[in-house]
């Protein structure tokens, strides 16, 4: 036996059921929009300070208003005017209003796609497109956070700068496509030698940098030596018989400064590692040179 509210005919029952469905669906869509505001932001969005909430709030308010109006209409026809027939115009509006949950669903999908696009843009802003490593900006941003954590934990941090030897000759002789292949291979070799928590970035051209939380000068220089040995094996040179090599500079810093000084300390460590790197270049390339300790 089908249920019909007391005093309502089949037509009125269908109309009220449609209104209740619209109200419930709009409330569900509004709840989905509100729930978006409490989702954890993707790291890339968090670093960029982005929290795309305006449209979600507007959608929740509009859908909530539509739900209230639809449920109010159901109440009006069920209680206040139960004896009145449903006019043709009301059916037209019911059919139109049935599109509201669909529009809400499409809006939620559009917001998800917009958020995904923002995440991609934020990631592109801190990522080197050729190697997939952090670019200079991304390396510095992540490095400041890592140094701050290391300062809180009281552990050492070291920076390794490395520059591919005679890389210009690869581009000049074999073209930029071959040079790009060498850069991608070097980036892959660098990543394969890192520990959990280590950071790698391409600072520009053929120069890369590593940030090694928890590693003092001795441990960092040992890692640099391992990478120096592994690089010619992992990365083929486009010239037969030639080897891809790199020069390394290592600097240690003592992360005991205030958190606000982390950016300055990191820049100083990179500069010190760069200085040691060029000592390695002048000393014959394909070697590791150490810098003096970088004061915090």
Choose among 133, 134, 140, 136: nearest CA to 265.
140
206 is catalytic: yes
- Taking only the tens of pLDDT, the chain with its 296 residues reads 444 445 556 777 787 788 888 888 888 878 877 777 776 655 555 554 555 566 677 777 877 887 887 887 777 766 666 666 666 767 777 777 777 777 777 877 877 787 777 777 777 788 999 999 999 999 999 999 999 899 888 899 999 999 999 999 999 999 999 999 999 999 999 999 999 999 999 999 999 999 999 999 999 999 999 999 999 999 999 999 999 999 999 999 865 555 568 888 899 999 999 999 999 999 999 999 999 765 44
Order across the sheet with 288-290: list the strands: 199-204, 207-213, 157-164, 246-253, 288-290
Nearest partner of 255 among 144, 143, 145, 147, judged by Cα:
147
| Structure token pair of residue 213 | 């939380």
What's residue 250's pLDDT? 97
| DSSP states along 151-182 | HHHT--EEEEEEEETTHHHHHHHH-HHHHHHH
The one catalytic residue among 47, 206, 252, 267: 206
Give the pLDDT confidence score for residue 41 in this predicted structure.
59
Supply the pLDDT for residue 110.
Answer: 79
From 46, 28, 294, select the one nearest 160 (Cα to Cα): 294
On whether the CB atoms of residues 23 and 93 are closer than 8 A, the answer is no
Going from the C-alpha of 139 to that of each of 123, 127, 154, 156, 239, the distances in angstroms are 12, 9, 21, 18, 32
> Residue 257 and residue 215: Cα distance in Å, rounded?
17
In the chain the domains, ranked by start, together with CATH numbers, are 10-125 (no CATH), 136-290 (3.30.70.270)
42 in Cβ contact with 112 (< 8 Å)? no
| pLDDT given at position 207 | 97
Counted residue by residue, the chain has a size of: 296
Residue 93, SS3?
helix
Closest CA to 245 of 187, 166, 168: 166
What pLDDT does 42 receive? Answer: 55
């Amino acid at each position: 036996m089908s249920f019909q509210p007391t005093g309502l005919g089949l037509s009125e029952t269908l109309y009220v059921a449609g209104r209740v469905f619209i109200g419930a669906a709009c409330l569900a869509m509004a709840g989905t929009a509100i729930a978006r505001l409490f989702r954890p932001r993707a790291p890339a969005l968090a670093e960029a300070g982005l929290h795309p909430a305006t449209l979600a709030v507007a959608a929740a308010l509009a859908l909530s208003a539509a739900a209230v109006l639809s449920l109010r209409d159901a109440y009006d026809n069920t209680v206040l005017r139960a004896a009145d027939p449903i006019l043709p115009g009301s059916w037209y509006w019911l059919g139109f209003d049935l599109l509201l949950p669909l529009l809400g669903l499409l809006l939620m999908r559009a917001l998800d796609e917009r958020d995904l696009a923002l995440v991609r843009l934020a990631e592109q802003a801190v990522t080197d497109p050729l190697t997939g490593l952090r670019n200079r900006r991304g390396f510095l941003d992540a490095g400041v956070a890592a140094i701050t954590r290391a300062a809180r934990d009281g552990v050492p941090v070291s920076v390794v700068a490395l520059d591919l030897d005679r890389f210009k000759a690869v581009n000049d002789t074999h073209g930029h496509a071959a040079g790009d292949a060498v850069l991608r291979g070097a980036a892959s070799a660098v990543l394969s030698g890192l520990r959990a928590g280590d950071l790698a970035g391409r600072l520009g051209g053929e120069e890369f940098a590593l940030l090694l939380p928890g590693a003092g000068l001795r441990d960092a220089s040992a890692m640099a030596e391992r990478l120096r040995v592994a690089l010619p094996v992992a990365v083929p040179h486009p010239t037969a018989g030639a080897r891809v090599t790199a020069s390394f500079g290592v600097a240690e810093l003592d992360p005991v400064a205030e958190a606000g000084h982390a950016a300055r300390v990191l820049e100083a460590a990179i500069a010190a590692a760069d200085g040691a790197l060029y000592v390695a270049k002048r000393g014959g390339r394909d070697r590791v040179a150490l810098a003096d300790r970088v004061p915090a």
